[in-house]
Amino acid sequence: MARHDQSDGSGRSDGRRSDSRRSGRGRPVEPARKTPASERSLTHSPYFQGPLYERMSEDLHLAGMAKRTHEGYLRAVRTLADFCQRTPDQISEDQLRKYFLHLKNDRQFASGSLRVAFSGIKFFYTRTCRRQWETLAHMKVPNAKTLPEVITSDQVHQIIDSCTTQRMAVYFWTVYSLGLRMQEGLHLEVGDIDAERGMVHVHRGKGAKDRYLPLPLSTLALLREFWKTHRHPRFLFPADGRNHRGVSCARGPSQATTPMSPTAVQGAMKQITAKLRFGKKVSTHTLRHSFATHLLEAGVSLRAIQQYLGHSSLQTTMVYLHLTETAAVDTRQVINTIFRRPR
């Protein structure tokens, strides 16, 4: 089934939609971009708005930043402006130093959060409002050497069995069985499923990279059964609206214009894991980590897992070697066999 050339619900086009306004060579002419209301609400501040805000937003688009990076960087500059209580173009380097120290020492930001704040602010002062500041040139944010949490196959099934709605159970199983990121799962479309070949086409994953994944028969069956409940011509997981009216096809196919929201997914996972009490922090992304770990334990090669996850570097995938005891057990058996002295 062919993909529909529509927006993905986040204000971005898939790049193949035609436009009635074209240049002399027949190429589409993009209309002037207006900042979406959702984006403005995320970063609204009396100290960071108007032309300066719009200019940074445009710079982020020109730099090809992903939607979440775009929002995170704008938010980083907004919080800096609120802290200093002045527009970011009026902030001094000394005030910037005090702000970073505040994040690090007073608020004790984790390295990941501190990195986002630093990267967003550095982008602003190197692209949008250029400053030659030593603080930005020499500040270092250490990489946290943390390992991701994983859960067992039985615990995954407990999560699925604890879902109170069919759509959430199917969504969580799909994300787990395909090793998807949350947004990749939410934006799956009917045309992405190639049942004949047993493959799924993931469009524009992290880093705008496409990839193909093997489709388990159990996942295909669940997706087909769930699709019958809404029959949306495009989305596999359409937004359901209030009181779940958008999902029921009693009055015809779902008329949703966007996929299911991340908030709904995160809220469901939080409620389920609070009830199950696994003793560790479990999120939707934990299912992706568990997918990779379970494949590795079953003997699937790191190279194949790298391709399934969409990692550019094998080094990124190698973190899962630390999450499984299988490799260590196999190594011990080989060592004991090789270095055994005859009696």
CATH number at residue 186: 1.10.443.10
Q: How many domains does the chain have?
A: 2
Residue 21 forms part of a structural domain: no
| 213 shares a domain with 105 | no
Tokens 């529909």 belong to residue: 4
| 92 shares a domain with 197 | no
Residue 89 forms part of a structural domain: yes
CATH number at residue 127: 1.10.150.130
pLDDT at residue 38 in the model: 45
Within 10 A of 341 (CB to CB), how many other CB atoms are there? 4
Q: What is the pLDDT along the chain (343 residues), one digit of tens a residue?
A: 444 444 343 343 344 333 433 333 343 333 434 445 444 445 568 999 999 999 999 999 999 888 889 999 999 999 999 999 999 999 999 999 999 999 999 999 988 899 999 999 999 999 999 999 999 999 998 877 777 889 999 999 999 999 999 999 999 999 999 999 999 999 999 999 999 999 999 986 665 678 999 999 999 999 999 999 999 999 999 998 655 454 555 678 889 999 999 999 999 999 999 999 999 999 999 999 999 888 888 888 888 888 888 887 777 777 777 667 655 555 556 556 656 656 6
Residue 339 forms part of a structural domain: no
| 244 shares a domain with 114 | no
In this structure, which long-range contacts are made by residues 210-216, counting pairs with CB atoms below 8 Å and at least 24 apart in sequence? 211/307, 211/308, 211/310, 213/178, 213/179, 213/308, 214/308, 215/178, 216/177, 216/178
- Rounded (to 5) percent helix, strand, coil in the chain: 55, 5, 40
| 252 shares a domain with 180 | yes
Q: Is 308 a catalytic residue?
A: no
- State the Cα–Cα distance between residues 56 and 41, nearest whole angstrom: 15
- State the Cα–Cα distance between residues 311 and 319, nearest whole angstrom: 12
Task: Please tell me which residue in 232, 288, 289, 294 is annotated as part of the active site.
Answer: 288
| 175 shares a domain with 221 | yes
Task: Please tell me which residue in 115, 206, 211, 212 is annotated as part of the active site.
Answer: 206
| 54 shares a domain with 160 | no
pLDDT tens for 121-130 read 999 999 999 9
Which among 138, 172, 194 is the end of a domain?
138
Residue 3 forms part of a structural domain: no
Residue 59 forms part of a structural domain: yes
SS3 22: strand
Alpha helix positions (H), 179-283: 182-186, 217-227, 262-276
| 163 shares a domain with 268 | yes
| 56 shares a domain with 117 | yes
Task: Please tell me which residue in 181, 232, 234, 294 is annotated as part of the active site.
Answer: 181
Q: Give the residue numbers spanning the domain of 256.
A: 153-330
- State the Cα–Cα distance between residues 138 and 122, nearest whole angstrom: 11
Residue 341 forms part of a structural domain: no
Measured in degrees and rounded to the nearest 5, phi and psi for residue 246 equal: -70, -20
Q: Is 145 a catalytic residue?
A: no
What residues are paired with 200 via a beta bridge?
Answer: 193, 213
Q: Is 102 a catalytic residue?
A: no
Alpha helix positions (H), 6-50: 37-43
pLDDT tens for 143-167 read 777 778 899 999 999 999 999 999 9
| 182 shares a domain with 312 | yes
Residue 23 forms part of a structural domain: no
Radius of gyration of the chain (CA): 24
| 307 shares a domain with 169 | yes
CA distances in angstroms from 182 to 93, 143, 156, 179, 280, listed in the order given: 38, 24, 16, 10, 19
| 62 shares a domain with 163 | no
Q: Is 285 a catalytic residue?
A: yes
| 199 shares a domain with 64 | no
Q: Is 288 a catalytic residue?
A: yes
